[in-house]
Chain A
Amino acid sequence: MSFIEVKNLCKEYRIVRSEKGIGGAVKSLFHREYIVKEAVKNVSFSLDKGEVVGYIGPNGAGKSTTIKILSGVLLPTKGEVKIGNIIPYENRKENAKRIGVVFGQRSQLYWDLPISDTFELYESLYGIPRERFRQNCDFFTELLGMKDFLNQPVRQLSLGQKMKANIAIALLHDPEVLYLDEPTIGLDVTSKKVLRDALKSINHERKTTIVLTTHDMDDIEAVCQRLIMIDQGQKLFDGSLEDFRLKYNDGFMLKLEFDGCFPVWQEEGDYELLEKTEHHWILKPKKDITSKEAMIELIGKYDPINLYVQEERIEDIVRRAYMLQNLPV
C-alpha cells in the first residue's frame, strides 16, 4: 500500500451567480442562484514515501484545492484520501503533526517579531523535544542560509528570506510530508536556487515526501522525479519527467549562430523559424528527421559558426500540453 492514497477525489464549490448592475445586486439579496463549480473532478493518484512530486496545472486548475484537502483544511465532496492510514480531514490534528505546509505567499510568521521567536513558538505548538528542536534550528538555518537575518523583525525581511523562514518552520517538527503551494513565486534566481537545493537535500537526507505546486517548470526539473498535471480539475498526466517528455515532446530545436556574414533565410518547407535575431536563428524541423541529418543539411546550407541542438524546454512542452487539452474536440 502506498503512503499517500487519493481515490476518486471530487470537490465542488457553490458560487453565487452575481447579476450585473444595481438591479442584479438588489435581486440577489432576495433570491440567489448558485452555480456548482467542480474544482477537482475524480482525481486519483498514489505516492510512495520519499517521492518528490510536482503538481502542475494552469491557474484555477484545482491544485490548491487538492493541497487543502490533503492537508486537512477542506472536506472533499466525494472520494477518499489517506496519508499513512490517516484520513486528513477526519483526523485533522493527528495529520497536522505529520505534515508541514507552506501556502505560497501567506506567511505564518509574526510581522513584528524576529524569526527566532516564531521558531520557539512552534517548539511548544508541536511539542518538539528541546534537543531535536535545537538540532533542527541549526540544520535549517545552515541549509537555507538564514543566519544573517534570524534576529531581524520579519517586516524588514525580503520575500525570499520570508519564504525560507516559512519553509524552515514547516519542517521544524520533522514532518513526513511537506506540501508547498508555489514556494518560488516572486523570488529571484539566487533564492530559487537555494530553495531548490534545500528541498533536494531535505528529501535526500530526511526522506521527506514533497508535493509541490508551481508555475515555474525549472522548479520541476530541478527537484521533482515525478509530475502530475491537472487542468479544469481533471488529471491529464501522471508519471516520470522522462515519460512526460516522451508523451508531449515533439522533437528538438536547432540554434544556429552566425558571425559577420549573415545568410538569407530561405523559406523552407522543412523547418520552421521560431526566432530570428542579429546573431542567431532558432529552427524547428517540421519533418521526421534525426538531429544528425538536420545538422548536416543546415551546415551545408547556411554555414553557421556554431550549431546547437536544444531539447524542448519543459516549459514549452507544458504549454503545448495545456493547449492540446483545450482544443475543441
Chain B
Amino acid sequence: MTVKDAGRAARPAGRAPAKRSPAGDPGQQADSPELIQLLTPEGERVEHPDYPLEISAEELKSLYRDLVIVRRIDFEAIALQRQGELGIWASLLGQEAAQVGSGRALTPRDMAFPTYREHGVAWCRGLDPMKLLELFRGVSHGGWDPTEHNFHLYTIVIGSQTLHATGYAMGIQRDGAVGEDGEAVIVYFGDGATSQGDVNEAFIWASVNNSPVVFFCQNNQWAISEPLERQSRVPLYQRAHGFGFPGVRVDGNDVLACLAVTRKAMQAAREGQGPTMIEAFTYRMGAHTTTDDPTRYRLSAELEAWKLKDPIERVKQYLIRSQQAEMSFFDEVEAEATRVGARVRAACLEMPDPEPLSMFDDVLTEETRQLAAERAGFAAYLDSFVGEEVAR
C-alpha cells in the first residue's frame, strides 16, 4: 500500500461525518505566520530567520532514507496486522517527518519519552523495530531497557509519560547535567493528550522547576474520531504561553523544519533555559489504529488535500531539483526499504510466544513466597494435562 493508496484503503460507507474540522483544513492555520517551514510541500527550500539550517547532501539523503524506511516498516506492520500476525498497529503514516526530524535532532545522551506511535523516533534512536512489533503482537509489553537507546518504553495511558519525562528532567537538574554539553529530555504526545490532566500538570512542573524538557506535540488533527476543536479553543502551541514557557508551531511534514526547531529547543533546554513546547502541525493519514475506521468521521477530501503535503515526496523533489542525488540513489533506497520490510515480516512470522511461566517474572525485584507458590502451582497444573509439557 503506497501513500497514494492510503485514501483508497477504505471507501466511505455513504455517511458523511458530523462536522468538518477547520483545524484539519491545511488551508487555514498552515498559512499562518507562526508555522515554521524550511521546505515547502513542492520541495522548495526556504529560510527562516530564527532557524538557520546548514545541511549537507549526505545528511539530506540520510534523512530521506530514514523517512522511506520508517514508512516501509509501518506499511509492513499494517499488512501483517491485516494478515492476522499482529493484534493491532498504530500507524505513523504522514507523521514521518515530525518523528525523523525531531528524532535526528537528539544527541545520544538526550532521553526520549514516546507515546505508542513514535516508531520513527525509535528508528532514529536505534531500537530494533522488532521490539515494537512484539508489543503489538502481544508477545511483550515492550520489554526493552530504556537506558540502552535512551528511549523509554511505550506508554499507552494518554499523557502519563509527560510527567515521567518532567521528573527525569528534574533528575538531570539535580545531577548538575545542565549546560552546553548537558542533557535534555524530549517527550512526545498528541493533540488529544493536551487535554489530559497529567499533561497540564507536567507543564506546571516543568515551568516552575525550569526543567530541561521539550514537549513535542504531534498535532495530527485527530484523536481517534475527535477533531482538534474538541480539545482546544486555541492553537496548541499557545497553551505553553499560559504556563509560562515558549511554544512554537512547526510544519510537521517538513523534516528540515522539525530538525531545526527541535535542535534549537533541545539546546535551550540543555543550557538551562527550561522547557519549550513544539507543536508539529501534521496529519494522521491512516487510521488511529488498525481497529479504527476513519471513513466514519472524516472526509476523503481532507485526506486528498494532505496528500499534496506528503513529507517524503517533498524531500525527493528537493533532492532531484537541487541535484543532490542521482536517480539510482532513490532506487537503492527503495530496494533497501523492501529488504527491511521483508526482514521485519520474516522476523514477525517467526516470533515465538512467550513461555507461560514467564508470566510470573519481574513483578518485583524479589519474588515473594506467594508468587513462587503460584508459579509452582501453575506449573503443576500445566503438567497435569495429557500431551502438555511444562515450560521451563
Partners in one complex: no
Which A residues lie at the B interface, using CB under 8 A?
none
